[in-house]
Amino acid sequence: MVEIATSLLSAKEENIIQKIYDLEVAKTDYFHIDVMDGKFVENDTTERMRKYTEYIKNVSTLPIDVHLMVEDIQSYIDSYLAMGVHSITFQLEACKNETEAIKLIKYIKENGCKVGIAVNANTPIEKVYEYVSHVHKILVMTVEAGKGGQKLIPETLDKIRELNKFIYENNYETDIQADGGINNETAQKVIAVGANILVSGNYIINSDNYKQAIESLKE
Ligand code: DX5
Ligand code: ZN
């Protein structure tokens, strides 16, 4: 069954509480929080995303799906664990080596939080295979990490297809999350190759009816 994680990256701060409330009523499955440190990627969203997470905690019980696009992964894990989020996903490219990646995965799980690993658009999908059995989900970036409103990169569909085959052949239960450029057209494409959690930002936030926009992604 396909789930929708609405990214608040492109949601302006004005009326953000109302937007959070309306997205809950519109039945988004998760709030997707894109934390960017201005080092791993150019944008710095750290302050605004911390505030948005606090707002969500105050007005909604829906799960918060945190996507860290940061260099100092450990310190951001600690601050988001402290805010009681549902899942934390970090970029494989920000890990120095496999030992560090495994250590971070274990740490997040030991703190009662679900864990994911994200691969950027031009990282070969094979790079995550060794982690698939250790995490709850693999986030496949379908755009270059760093900003919202971009177009889905078609080659990333093959990565999702390959990953899905690997998961199926090994009987793993790991979810596949597609993130970037997801709208009513591209949603069908990523679902067809195996994604079961879709992140969508601009398409939902800029729509005039959140509920219809979210439903159109699940069709
Ligand atoms: C990009 C983020 C995505 C992005 C999705 O680095 O990880 O979550 O905000 O936004 P849209 O749906 O507008 O591409
Ligand atoms: Zn994201």
Query: Ligand 1 centroid vs 201 CA: distance in angstroms?
Result: 6
Query: Ligand 2 centroid vs 178 CA: distance in angstroms?
Result: 9
Ligand 1 atom with minimal separation from the 202 CA:
13
| Of 42, 89, 199, 203, best ligand 1 pocket probe by most atoms within 8 Å of the beta carbon | 199
Dihedral (CA of 143, 4, 63, 136) sign: negative
Ligand 1 atom with minimal separation from the 205 CA:
13
- HSE, side-chain direction, 13 A CA sphere, residue 178: 33
Relative to the alpha carbon of 65, which ligand is closest? 2
Q: What is the pLDDT of residues 18-62, one digit of tens each?
A: 999 999 999 999 999 999 999 999 999 999 999 999 999 999 999
Positions marked catalytic: 34, 179
- Burial category of 2 from C-beta neighbours within 10 Å (exposed 0-12, middle 13-18, buried 19 and up): middle
The answer to whether 53 touches 88, Cβ cutoff 8 Å, is: no
* Tokens of residue 26, six digits: 């519109």
- pLDDT of the residue at 140: 99
- pLDDT of the residue at 219: 80
Rounded distance between C-alpha atoms, residue 28 and residue 148, angstroms: 18
Q: What is the pLDDT of residues 56-105, one digit of tens each?
A: 999 999 999 999 999 999 999 999 999 999 999 999 999 999 999 999 99
Residue 181 Rama label (left phi>0; alpha psi -120 to 50; beta): left
Query: Ligand 2 centroid vs 32 CA: distance in angstroms?
Result: 7
Residues with CB under 6 A from ligand 1: 7, 9-10, 32, 34, 67, 69, 143, 145-146, 148-150, 179-182, 199-203
Relative to the alpha carbon of 67, which ligand is closest? 2
Rounded distance between C-alpha atoms, residue 148 and residue 133, angstroms: 29
* Tokens of residue 61, six digits: 């019980």
**Once rounded to an integer, what is the mean pLDDT over residues 111-128?**
98
| Of 28, 137, 179, best ligand 1 pocket probe by most atoms within 8 Å of the beta carbon | 179
Separation in Å, CA 73 to CA 44, 79, 108, 159: 14, 10, 11, 24
Q: What percent of the chain has pLDDT over 90?
A: 99
164, β-bridge pairs = none
Query: Ligand 1 centroid vs 76 CA: distance in angstroms?
Result: 19
DSSP, res 44: B
Dihedral (CA of 16, 18, 20, 22) sign: negative
Dihedral (CA of 9, 12, 13, 17) sign: negative
